[in-house]
Amino acid sequence: MKKTSIIAEYIWMDNVKPTAKLRSKSKIIPGPIKRVADIPLWSFDGSSTNQAEGNFSDCLLHPVYFVSDPVRGNSDILVMCEVLNSDGTSHPTNTRAVLKKVATKYQKQEPWFGFEQEYTLYCKNRPLGWPEYGFPHPQGRYYCGIGIDEVYGRPVTEDHLQSCLKAGIAVYGVNAEVMPSQWEFQLGPLPPLELADQLWLARWLLYRLGENHNVYAKLDPKPMPGDWNGAGGHTNFSTKAMRAKGGLKVIETACKKLGKFHKQHIAIYGADNDKRLIGQHETCSIHQFRYGVSDRGASIRIPAMTAHAKRGYLEDRRPAANADPYQVLTALLETTCGQGFDPKKYNWEPQVEI
């Protein structure tokens, strides 16, 4: 193939508290790119992202995963990066480096993850399509609705779906959610690092395409107080043993173990998740842990199909829409495949105290 210059969009997580957001900038590099190792290291001003002091401000961008850029097209690419200190060591905000180690440790158990990303589309300071005064019709008609009187923002979600597929992101499905202008896309099932990298890139695409449609997506777990559903990040999980004959027993053992580490998991399942996990609107209270077949009011749901087949996967319903998948997957792997998860081991600050 002819050598040309391409545009690489370097994407990374910042250190905004309490929830890291994405940053990105463009670099012109020789292409086309075939392997991630051929994408050059780059740097950025860490003092502008809360990742360094002004007098020692350089942080490094280490490319770790890439997909083709569906917005620019051509041979352009979107590049997920780990943030390194200027000496090449892993930055404290680099949660991906932790998941990478943990995923390698439990690779033999062949873990797969699927993530349900709920989000709310906003225009100005209101959810898209909500009246300037008062409220929309109460919930009940919007979930999987059709027609502009039922759902708001389909052109955005459709653009996002097509773009993700063009990029090679493993979208599983899309649906309109219970609260008007709330939507969901699902990814997976995939191995841990691929799933988490693709999720961050799919989030970036959602924000980027929102610019074209004059709307923005919020991952706030409880955007509207009152009788409106919150936004979750249900995390579906299985190992080879769970998917094999007799897997239901392995799933039940995992559920019992997850109950023992509930507080440790909740600590990193997203800021403001206490406003969402209130025992209403298809959630279990943040102060309880329950698992059950087909139970959407439980912390962990065992899908009916899994119970019938006596093998399959479990759904952790606790993570909030704004959770960092690198952290969530680390916790699930350490608790179910290993001895248990403790955020202190990685100096991860609690996002919610219970």
Q: For binding to Mn ion (CB under 5 A), which residues are involved?
A: 116, 184, 234
Q: Could you say which of 91, 243, 262, 276 contacts ligand ADP (CB under 6 A)?
A: 243
115 binds, among Mn ion, ligand ADP, none (CB under 5 to 8 A by kind): ligand ADP
**Which residues touch 52 (CB under 8 Å, ≥6 apart)?**
45, 46, 58, 59
Pairing of strands 291-293, 300-302: parallel
Specify whether the CB–CB gap between 255 and 305 falls below 8 A.
no
Task: Decide: is 112 part of the binding site for ligand ADP (CB under 6 A).
Answer: yes
326 binds, among ligand ADP, Mn ion, none (CB under 5 to 8 A by kind): none
Q: Which stretch binds ligand ADP (CB under 6 A): 15-23, 181-189, 219-227, 285-293?
A: 181-189
Count of residues making up the chain: 354
Q: Indicate the SS3 state at residue 281.
A: coil
CA–CA dist 145, 141 (Å, integer)? 7
Six token digits for residue 309: 């087949």
Q: Which residue is nearest to Mn ion (CB)?
A: 234
Q: Could you say which of 14, 116, 194, 220 contacts ligand ADP (CB under 6 A)?
A: 116
Task: Closer to ligand ADP by CB, 84 or 195: give it.
Answer: 195
In order, the DSSP letters of 9-23 are EEEEE---SSS--EE
Task: Closer to ligand ADP by CB, 115 or 348: give it.
Answer: 115
Residues 301-320: x where in contact with ligand ADP by CB under 6 A, - otherwise, as a string: -----------xx-x-----
Task: Closer to ligand ADP by CB, 236 or 330: give it.
Answer: 236
Distances (CA, A) of 338 to 95, 245, 300, 334: 18, 21, 18, 5
69 binds, among ligand ADP, Mn ion, none (CB under 5 to 8 A by kind): none
Six token digits for residue 111: 């873990």
Six token digits for residue 83: 């943030």
Task: Decide: is 94 part of the binding site for ligand ADP (CB under 6 A).
Answer: no
Q: Indicate the SS3 state at residue 207.
A: helix
CA 162-23-342 angle, to 5 degrees, is 100
Task: Closer to ligand ADP by CB, 148 or 304: give it.
Answer: 304
Q: Could you say which of 115, 152, 204, 348 contacts ligand ADP (CB under 6 A)?
A: 115
Six token digits for residue 271: 């800021």
φ, ψ for residue 156, nearest 5 deg = -75, -45
Q: Could you say which of 63, 127, 188, 325 contacts ligand ADP (CB under 6 A)?
A: 188
Task: Closer to Mn ion by CB, 119 or 341: give it.
Answer: 119
Specify whether the CB–CB gap between 36 and 48 falls below 8 A.
no
Task: Closer to ligand ADP by CB, 189 or 325: give it.
Answer: 189
Q: Could you say which of 18, 173, 279, 338 contacts ligand ADP (CB under 6 A)?
A: 173
Q: Could you say which of 204, 237, 261, 341 contacts ligand ADP (CB under 6 A)?
A: 237
CA 228-232-235 angle, to 5 degrees, is 155
Task: Closer to ligand ADP by CB, 326 or 348: give it.
Answer: 326
Binding stretches for ligand ADP (CB under 6 A) = 112-116, 172-173, 186-189, 234, 236-238, 243, 312-313, 315
